[in-house]
Every structure is written in structure tokens, then in C-alpha cells.
Amino acid sequence: MKLKVEFLGLARELAGDAEAVVTVDDRATWHDLISALADAYPSFVGPIVLPDRSNLTAAYMLNVGGRAIVRDLDVPVQPGQRLLLMFAEAGG
Amino acid sequence: MTQPAYQHVICDPDLCTGCRLCEYVCSANKHGVFDPNLARIRVVRIEPVTMTAISCRMCADAPCVIACPRDALSRAPETGVILVDDTKCDGCGWCVEACDFGAIVLNPASKTAEICDLCADQEDGPQCVIYCPKEALSLSTPEVLRQKARRDVVKRLFEELLTP
Amino acid sequence: MYAYTGKILHVDLTNQTTRVQELEPEFLKRYLGGVGLATRLLYDNTPAGCDPLGPDNALCFACSSFAGTTIPVGTKHGVASKSPLTGFVGDSLSGSHFSEMLRRAGWDGMVLKGQAPRWLYLVIDDDLVRFVDAQPYMGKGAVEVQSILREELGDDNYRVSAIGPAGEHLVRFASIDNDGRQVGRTGNGAVMGSKRLKAIAIRGSRPVTVADPKGLMAASLKLIKTSQGPGTVKYRTLGTPSNVLNMNAIGVLPTRNFSETTFEHAETISGEYLRDHYRVKSVSCSSCSIACEQWGVVRDGKYKGAKIGLDYEPLFALGSNCGIGTLPPIIKLVEMSDELGMDAMSAGVVISWAMECYERGLLTQEDCDGLELAFGNEDAAIEVLRKIAYREGIGDLLAEGTMRASERLAKGSEHFAMHVKGLEMPGYDVRSLKTFAAGLAVGTRGACHNRSLAYELDIKGVFDRFTADDGRGKAMVDNENFACILDCLVLCKFLRNCFDDFGPDVAAIYTMTTGIFLTADELMAVGERVCNLKKAFNIREGWTRADDTLPPRVLEDPIPTGPSKGSYVTREELDLLIANYYQARGWTADGLIPREKLVELGLEDIADEVGVDTVPAGQAI
């Protein structure tokens, strides 16, 4: 399936784009999506994705629909959701 | 080459954020206390975004050495740093006036001049360079700076040519 | 004693005299510095019930424990007075070099009382204090006057804290500026203005000596390096303006006076847009290794030449919240706020309140001195901001702050007066951040994100932000205590993710700095102590349970559109969360502090004055 991911903050700068469409297996988990993002954007590895690609760094989070934060990476991704790769820190 | 290319601490003003950690580090390293008045590197911040750090630039024909009436200042031939002979220096301040960069400290306690010696006492070199959070400080020579400037200008030139 | 000087400078502006108070290490260890020490000085020097803008209110400054050392972002100062906005504790913080100079002049803090017969500024040269006529500098901007005074005094080493026209005209949310950073919130600039004190110029000649210079240097280097890592990446790349798109994406970006939570022009006022179009560089406060402040310059057009270090809070307040959707007028407005010397957050929120009044016909164009004060009208916003500082026309009403202005106008405008206890709301629409909503309601200085930190619990998903339950009190208390420890040390909150083990690491750094042995437990206890001290101050000023509440809009109006559509905080939910918080604090169901609690926290000396003899909430009788 194809998933659209919106990039905010550093992710947007590193990707050079505000969003991307990532193709993953139909049974892909969040973990697979993170790996796919790291493949598509190697510069994410380090500041956004952990070097072993097991998770995002503490600085970043994946938000679904503007309402929920992805916490369990082994859960399959549902198609058709708005996905946001954004800073976890909210301090102003 | 007649004039050896001495390294000195340079500051990239685009990277310097004006935090002044270098001043604290310098005074702590040299005197064990935190006191920017004793720091041999000082940050000048012309509010709000214009800032850089300045320390001894190891001038050729160093005006401070020439100005010293007591011959207390001399140059170390290998490193180029200006050495101060404390037994001769009486804190008259001629060297301070002669320095175009305001890089010489007159220690109010010892009444002697103090000048950046690139942390000769430290194995890993100038401590300000090590502590600078933004890597704005580095050791360089005028020749290396010229090379960098030339590279940068050519890069900019090509960027403009390649950008539609 | 190292680092600390053990001395507080007391200044009586009425009689232009000074005296010195000596402090013991045991006392300093209980409050550390910054907000903790400033609040304690306030408690001890301000009589209950005094007029915040009268001579009895004590304006208290305190250095951070680490001021003038290499500990990154450890050179800040706290200021506290009785707030002219809230009538409760008004504690605020600022970064930069003033704290270093206060320490190097030989002072851990200052207490300013009285009222000068004519406008003065203070010149402090170590222990020599001069009272100088400030008449030539009246009307000067809060930032520009600092350079003018340095020039007059003939030494760049002077660091200056100053007020602008807003402080001179007793605007209730006036700020005190130093080095372009502000003691911004709760109106300490108005308190300074009420004392007819334009500025304080300090020059210190003492070095800062620490107990273990080598240990401290090593600890500093480690923190400097860690602070270039993932824990600060947001602050180092886009700074706090990155919040605009984040908050917009999750439907909490306050828009048009907190009526909506997504803004159609969020992209063009975002941190990302700022970086690509206006940013010139990021700059640091004193000793800061992070450098979050993003300086933007407008290079052409109507606002050509406007420049400011832009942070999220002023950006939301004067941007989306006023319906302004481009950066140049926002940069102009924030620059004006700083130079006029007022809190851009409160200014933005009171202006957005007036804009909503205008759109609803509660304020007419005539009421607004002919201005069309509609949302998005940047020219009107700029003019009304100026009028506030000088209390001209409509500005005189708005200079009173949102709470008083809405009480005076009435006509139902209280419904959308966005403040808690009189302090205007920060840049989070809390209708879908329910833990944080309660955190703002119980805040001792009113609606403050920095004191609560509970937004993290909601936004990072520790709790479901759309619901409430009774399992959140302890986390709210822990976050508030943690924020308070940072405010007392002082360490910048942006460094908070840079420690391996915060308590032991920071306690060790404190001991290396001051030579005063402090355990991790003792450090963590300071947060709870000072939170209770602030509450005690409020209780002494007549606080009641009814003061811990939220604006009616938060409690009644569902969010109309966007990802958070439909959400609002019911009164039952708020009561539940607050009760849970009081219980976690060990307070009574009415939110009062049991006498035993104060004794337990080492505040036995105020237990008789404010403590109650009762059973804490949640304990069976």
C-alpha cells in the first residue's frame, strides 16, 4: 500500500519536501514504515530514526490523524490515515 | 617561506551565537576562576545578531612586541605565540594600546599582560576550541583562511550559475 | 561558600538607601536561586494584601546557582513580585548576562522596595550603589536604553535590566528587558515602573569561584556536547517556532482568540517558513550551548528593517491568535512589544480579545479610536499595540489585561476572556489537552505552560488528551515540581533532556559549584517546597478554590473544526482533575496546605500563617 507521510520540522528540511508517499507491504507495521522512511531518506538516520532503525529517536514521533501517537510499533498500519512525522517536544 | 604561518584561534561569525562560554573556559583554565575580565578571548556582540570572538591573531611584526618599553614581550619562534616575561612586565599597558584587536588582558591582580598562548599547558590545545558548542572556534592560519575564502566564493559563483 | 556570595542587596527607593542581608548556606540550599530564592524573598518582604503597584510590593531578583560559570544555560535570573495582573505570586525568568553580573557584583539577589520621588536608574558597581536621575531616558525603548546607558557609563561590561514605555505607564503586563531577553510574564515591568525605576545597570569585578573547578569544567563539557544531540534537536534547528505546524497539525493552535484550533495560514507563519525566508541566524543567551533564538529580519516591503528573535509564544499570540497570517507584521509586532517593554503573549491575547469584541459588536469602531480592529487587520494591531504601551484611548482599557478589560466591558465578553487568574493563556488550546488544562487552572501564577509542563503528558501521549480520569494528579505534580527545580537552579528547560540521571547529576554539579553538599533527594525536594511556597503566598493573598478555574470558552464551547473537533473540558472533568491534583499534592479538598505538609517541607516558619489543621483530601477520616 501507499502511505502519505507529512514532514514537519527537521524532517521537512532533511527530506527537502513537506510530504512523501511511501510504499510498504499491505501487512506492514509501523516498524516497517519507519524502515521504509529511513531507506527513502538516509539523512533521517541519526537525528530522526535510530541508527539501528528500530525506532524513531526520542526527539521525533509519528502522529496519526492529529489525534493519536504511535506507541506500539508492531501494530499494522491502516491505510487512509493522515500520518505526521513531527517533533515530540512541545515546549514553547 | 620567510614568515612561518602561525596558527591562531579564529571565530566564524556565522556560527558564533554569542554565548560567551569561551570566555569562562579561558579564565577557568588559566586562573581556576570564572572571570571574563581575565579571559584572553572575548566575545563582541554588537546587538543583536552581529557577534564574534576575538583573541590574539599572532600578527607578523607584532605591534605589542614592538610597543613594549621593557622588552617583556617576545615571540615563541615555533608557535608564534607572544610570550610575556613576568619579571620584566610592569603592567604599563602599552601593548594593550598597541593591539588593534583588544586581545591583550591586563591582569589587575598580578599587574602583568596576558595573551592567548593557545593553551600551551594543555595537551589537547586551546580549550575554547574544545568547549565551543557550535564549533565556531578553530585553529587556523591566514593561508588556510585564504584558501577557504577562495573555495567559498567559487562555490557561490557556481551555485548562482546553476540555479535557474 | 563558593559561587554564592551569601548577600542580598536591599534597596529602598523611597529614601534611596540600601542595606545588606546575609544568607546562610542552609537557607540557600533550600531555595537554590532563581525563582526559588526570589519567591522566598518576596514572601518575606511583601506584606499581605499590599497594592502590587504600591511601594510595599517587593520586586525581588535572584541569580541562578550557576551564574557566570560554564554550566550551559545555567546563567539566568528569576524575578518575583506580587503580580499586578493576578494579585498572586508573579515569578518570572530571563536569560542572559544580567545574572552573571549580579553575581560578580557580589550579590545573590536584590530586593527593591518603595517608590522613588522622581524617575531614577540604579548603577551598581560591586557594593557601591548609586541612584541616578533617569529623566533623560524616559520614553526610551526597553532594549535601546540598555545600549544608551552602557554608552553613558562608558563601559561595555555594564549589563542592564530596563523597562520601556509600557512599564513607565504601568501596563499590567509590562516586562523587564535585559540583553533582548525578557522577564516577560506577570507584569514585573509594571511593578518596576510603579517604583519609578527605569533601569538597573550592574557591573561586577569579582570572579566567580567554584568549589571544584576541574569537576565542573568536565561536567560542563559533557553537557555542552550532549546538548548538541537529539535532546535539543528541535530547539537547535527551528527553535520554538516549529510548534506552529505541530500545534496546527494536532488541532491545538490557538486561532482568532482561541475560537478555532487550526489556522489556514499556519504554513506562512511557521518556523519552517521563517527559516526559509527570514531567518538570519540563531543566537544564544549567556552560556547557552543550544542557541534556540531564531532571528528573523524583514528585508523588504512595508515592514522592512523589522527584526526580532522569534519564539513560538509571541508568534502564536500576535499571529494566528490575531488572525494574522504572514510573518513580516508579526516580526514587527514582536519587535515593538520588546522595545515598548511588554509581554508579547499577554499583549497578543488581550488584542485578540478586543478583536473578537469588535467582530461581535461589543466594541465599536468609535470605541477603538477609529480603528477597524477586526481579526487579521495587521495595521490596527500595530496601532493598538502602541496605544496599549502609552495607555492611549482603547489602549488604556487593554493595558489592564484581559481579565480587567473584560470585567469592565462585560456584555458577555468574559466568556472569551482567555486568562487564568488574570494571566493570559499560552499557545495551546487546552480544550483537547485536558491534563494540561487542569495544570493551567491550578497554576500559581495563572495560565503558564512553563510552570506546569503538563502539555508534555498530553502531546506525547502519556495520557489520552481528549479524556480525563483520576490517575493524573501525581504526573501533574511531578512535572510541576520538575519545572520548578529547573526554575530555581536555574537551568533552562530546553536542557531538560540532556541528563543521564537528572537528580544525582544535577545535585553533583550543584555541589561542585557551591561546595554545599546536596543529595538528589534534597534537590528534588526543592521543587515541591517552592511550589508550596508559591501557593502559600497566594493563600496569604486570599486565594480560594474558585480561583483555580478556566475561561468559560474552554469549559463550554466545543472546538468547531479540525483534528480536535468537538472537544472541550467539562466542569466535571476539570473538578476531577483538580481534586486529583490536590490529593497528589497532599492538600485539602479545598486546595489548602495542611500545616503538617508545610512542616514536612521545611516551611515550618510559615506554617502558622497559612497552614490549615485538617485531614488531607483522599484520606479517610
Give C188-243 pLDDT, tens digit per residue.
999 999 999 999 999 999 999 999 999 999 999 999 999 998 889 899 999 999 99
- A17 conformational bin, left if phi > 0, alpha if psi -120 to 50, beta if neither: beta
Q: Which of B107-111, C58-62, C462-466 has the lowest mean pLDDT?
A: B107-111
Q: Distance (Å, rounded) from C-alpha C338 to C-alpha C171?
A: 13
Residue B1 lies in a domain: no
C-chain CB neighbours of B14 within 8 Å are 281
C-chain CB neighbours of A12 within 8 Å are 272
Side chain identity at residue C390, one-letter code:
Y
Cell numbers standing for residue C456: 508534555
Q: Contact, C511 vs C518, CB < 8 A?
A: yes
Q: How far is B124 from chain C (nearest CA, A)?
A: 14
Instruction: Report yes or no on chains A and B touching (3+ CB pairs under 8 A).
Output: no
Taking Cα atoms as reference points, which of B140, B135, B145 lies closest to residue B19?
A: B135
**Which pLDDT belongs to residue B31?**
96
Query: Given pLDDT bands bounded at 50, 70 and 90, which one contains residue C315?
Result: very high
Helix and strand numbers, DSSP H then E, in chain A: 2, 5
C-chain CB neighbours of B32 within 8 Å are 209, 213
Return the residue matching grid coordinates 506492514: A28
> Which of A9, A58, A91 lies at the smallest CB-CB distance from C237?
A9
Between positions 431 and 490 of C, the ones with CB within 8 A of A are 449-450, 453, 455-456, 459-461, 466
Q: Is residue A43 over pLDDT 50?
A: yes
Q: What is the DSSP string of C273-307?
A: HHHHHTEEEEE--TT-SS--EEEEE--SSTTTT-E
| Count of domains for chain B | 1
Which residue in C has a C-alpha nearest to residue A13's C-alpha? Answer: C272
Q: Strand C423-424 vs strand C419-420: parallel, antiparallel, or unpaired?
A: antiparallel
Q: What is the DSSP string of C315-332?
A: HHHHTGGGT--SHHHHHH
Return the residue matching grid coordinates 578553530: B138
Q: What is the DSSP secondary structure assignment for residue C579, as one 8-state letter?
A: H
Q: Please give the residue range of the domain that contains residue B76.
A: 8-162
Which residue in C has a C-alpha nearest to residue A50's C-alpha? Answer: C230
Q: Render pLDDT for C13-39 as a digit per residue (tens, 0 to 9).
A: 999 999 999 999 999 999 999 999 999
Residues B20-46 have a mean pLDDT of: 96
CATH code of the domain in which B31 resides: 3.30.70.20
Enumerate the domain spans of chain A: 2-87
Cβ-defined contact of B17 to C283 (cutoff 8 Å) = yes
Q: How far is C95 from chain B (nearest CA, A)?
A: 11
Cβ-defined contact of B47 to C143 (cutoff 8 Å) = yes
Q: Distance (Å, rounded) from C-alpha C64 to C-alpha C4?
A: 9
Q: How far is C449 from chain A (nearest CA, A)?
A: 8
Between positions 214 and 273 of C, the ones with CB within 8 A of A are 230-231, 233-235, 237-238, 240, 242-243, 245-247, 249-251, 271-272
In a 3-state reduction of DSSP, which class is residue B17? coil
Q: How far is C477 from chain A (nearest CA, A)?
A: 18
Q: Report the CATH architecture of A2-87.
A: Roll (3.10)
Residue B32 lies in a domain: yes
Cβ-defined contact of C227 to B133 (cutoff 8 Å) = yes
Q: Strand C7-12 vs strand C17-22: parallel, antiparallel, or unpaired?
A: antiparallel
Q: How far is C381 from chain B (nearest CA, A)?
A: 25
Which residues are A50's β-sheet partners?
none
Taking Cα atoms as reference points, which of C143, C131, C100 lies closest to residue C15?
A: C131
Q: Contact, C493 vs C452, CB < 8 A?
A: no
Cβ-defined contact of C70 to B20 (cutoff 8 Å) = no
**Terminal Cα distance for chain C, rounded:** 47
Enumerate the domain spans of chain C: 7-203, 234-424, 431-610
- C32 conformational bin, left if phi > 0, alpha if psi -120 to 50, beta if neither: left
Neighbours of B21 (CB within 10 A): 29
Which residue in A has a C-alpha nearest to residue C243's C-alpha? Answer: A90
Q: How far is B33 from chain C (nearest CA, A)?
A: 5
Cβ-defined contact of C285 to B19 (cutoff 8 Å) = yes
Residue spans of alpha helices (H) in chain B: 21-31, 63-67, 94-98, 127-131, 142-162
Q: Render pLDDT for A16-28 as a digit per residue (tens, 0 to 9).
A: 999 999 999 999 9
C-chain CB neighbours of A13 within 8 Å are 237, 272, 275
Residues B33-44 have a mean pLDDT of: 96
CA B87, B88, B92, B97 torsion-angle sign: negative
Residues C250-263 have a mean pLDDT of: 98
Cβ-defined contact of C233 to A90 (cutoff 8 Å) = no
Residues contacting residue C111 through CB under 8 Å, at least 6 positions apart: C8, C9, C10, C11, C21, C41, C45, C58, C59, C60, C61
Pick the CATH number of C7-203 from 3.60.9.10, 3.40.1360.10, 3.30.1490.20, 3.40.50.300: 3.60.9.10
Q: Render pLDDT for C395-430 as a digit per residue (tens, 0 to 9).
A: 999 999 999 999 999 999 999 999 999 999 999 999
Which residue in B has a C-alpha nearest to residue C206's C-alpha? Answer: B35
C-chain CB neighbours of B133 within 8 Å are 72, 224, 227-228, 289-291
**C431-610 maps to CATH 1.10.599.10:** yes
Q: Render pLDDT for C447-501 as a digit per residue (tens, 0 to 9).
A: 999 999 999 999 999 999 999 999 999 999 999 999 999 999 999 999 998 999 9
Rounded to two decimals, the ipTM of the complex is: 0.95
Q: Distance (Å, rounded) from C-alpha C165 to C-alpha C160?
A: 16
Q: Is residue B163 over pLDDT 80?
A: no
B-chain CB neighbours of C68 within 8 Å are 24, 34
Neighbours of C255 (CB within 10 A): 28
Neighbours of B47 (CB within 10 A): 14
**Which pLDDT belongs to residue B1?**
46
Query: Given pLDDT bands bounded at 50, 70 and 90, which one contains residue B60?
Result: confident
Q: Render pLDDT for B136-158 as a digit per residue (tens, 0 to 9).
A: 999 999 888 889 889 989 988 88
Cα torsion through C387, C392, C395, C401, rounded to 10: 110
The CATH number of the structural domain formed by C234-424 is 1.10.569.10
Residue spans of alpha helices (H) in B16-141: 21-31, 63-67, 94-98, 127-131
Preceding amide of C72 cis, omega within 30 = no
Residues C390-412: b if buried by 16+ CB within 10 A, e if exposed: bbebbbebbbbbbbbbbeebeee
Instruction: Report yes or no on chains A and C touching (3+ CB pairs under 8 A).
Output: yes
Which residue in C has a C-alpha nearest to residue B21's C-alpha? Answer: C287
Taking Cα atoms as reference points, which of C380, C422, C241 lies closest to residue C317?
A: C241
Return the residue matching grid coordinates 591573531: B57
Q: Distance (Å, rounded) from C-alpha C89 to C-alpha A85?
A: 39
When the pLDDT of each residue in chain C is averaged and rounded to a whole number, the result is 96
Residues C546-572: b if buried by 16+ CB within 10 A, e if exposed: ebbbbbebbbeeebeebbbeebbbeee
